[in-house]
Amino acid sequence: MCVDVVLESAAAGRVVLWEESARDGAQAKTLMMPGFRVELARATGRIFGPDGPRHVVFAAGFPAVCGEEFEAVRRVAREAEGAVSVAAVCRGARRDVEQAVASVRGSRHARVMVVVPASEAMAEVMVHRSAPEALAAGVDLVKLARDLDEEVAVDVCLADASRADHALMAHHAQAMTGAGAGLIVLADTVGAQLPSGCRDMFGRVRAAAGDEVVLASHLHNDLGLGLANTLQALAAGVRVVSSSWLGIAERAGMVATEQLLFLLAEHTADVLGADAAPWWTPPDLTRLPVVARRVADETGVPLSVTTPIVGPGVATISTGTPFVHPRLFQPFDPQQVLGIPPHVVLTHLASARVVTAVAARLGHTLDRDRTRAAMAWAKNRAYRTGRAVIDDIAFADYLDGLTHPAAGGTR
């Protein structure tokens, strides 16, 4: 039987990301084609070098959806093997479990995650049983999966855990672990949990279930609290946390992989404690912007100017004081940490320093009078067009006319 490197990492206090953009991201109305899933799995694993399988579980898909989805998961299991731990996700039904195991069979560090309802409301809708009956059936499904292939690790996601009975979940988490389950994932399926309730849930279930049970989180962002709740889970001792590139997942999504990784790497002591050692190999944060842009291109989910860590607004400067003292207006050095160089943008807020810097980038040296004229032109153009940012082509054309009047540049 293979060593479960994910459990090994969690036991050692290392952080493991359960990456959901290919699987839960599909419920955000995106579809990653098989080749891109392989590319993304490999790229995510490379953030941690040779320790990718110890730090990343890549949820490749939901094999029961259709034959094409099964083959997509199968391809990721074959071609991303060794870069990450590949997982298939399934409902709590015998046939689905069989398909999930088959889709990842033979891949090193392969996993399946079986979704089992934990609350009374969710159990009634999903399996037409009571919550205790649904959870008891989950124990049998763990045994089934282990019997199908003991080389494939089996995890259980307790759906709607945020509205379920803590003692009941702890009791069945013990039974599932005893039957061979690896992770027990507590899910805020509807994204309605507040941070205090999230920390209370993980604390209570962990205390009642005992140290043998390894908890993980899967927390949605419907109230904008996915990241805050994930930090609460980590504070409660959880070390396996779900996330998704760009936060794409069902409805309002979940915590963004790039944001979570950045916080854990740059603020380790604040998030995990002064003595925390969360990495076998520290993440290479300079890879985050590149991967995020690829996901945006593939899915059509845009990176906006307000997207933290990887958005186009990071490392941009458009006004005077931030130009002179950039570190006073940003919490980290984007070039040093992420490899994103500073970029001065010309807008209606431009100071003389900003105007001369952009002009210099475009190959023009301005004296005081021309700087003043260019600044007035920039402000006038912004208000005339109704667009704050003035693109380099338009400004270069103006500067050509300003510095070489005979050329007849646009004014």
β-strand pairing of 153-159 with 16-19 = unpaired
Report the alpha-carbon distance of residue 227 to residue 242 in Å, rounded. Answer: 10
Amino acid identity at 59:
A
Report the alpha-carbon distance of residue 394 to residue 409 in Å, rounded. Answer: 10
Helix axes of 195-209 and 166-178: crossing angle, nearest 10 degrees: 50
Q: Residue 36: phi, psi to the nearest 5?
A: -70, -35
Q: Residue 186: phi, psi to the nearest 5?
A: -95, 120
Give all domains of the chain, ordered by start, each with its CATH number.
Answer: 5-299 (3.20.20.70), 315-411 (no CATH)
Q: Are 164 and 193 in contact (CB under 8 A)?
A: no
Total-model pTM: 0.91
**Per-residue pLDDT, 45:** 98
**Per-residue pLDDT, 411:** 46
Burial of 148 (0-12, 13-18, 19+ CB in 10 A): middle
**Structure confidence by residue, pLDDT tens digits, 143-177:** 999 999 999 999 999 999 999 999 999 999 999 99
Q: What is the DSSP string of 147-159?
A: HH-TTSEEEEEEE
pLDDT beneath 70, residues of the chain: 1, 405-411
**Structure confidence by residue, pLDDT tens digits, 340-357:** 998 899 999 999 999 999
**Per-residue pLDDT, 333:** 87
Give the alpha-carbon dihedral of 394, 396, 397, 401, to 10 degrees. 140
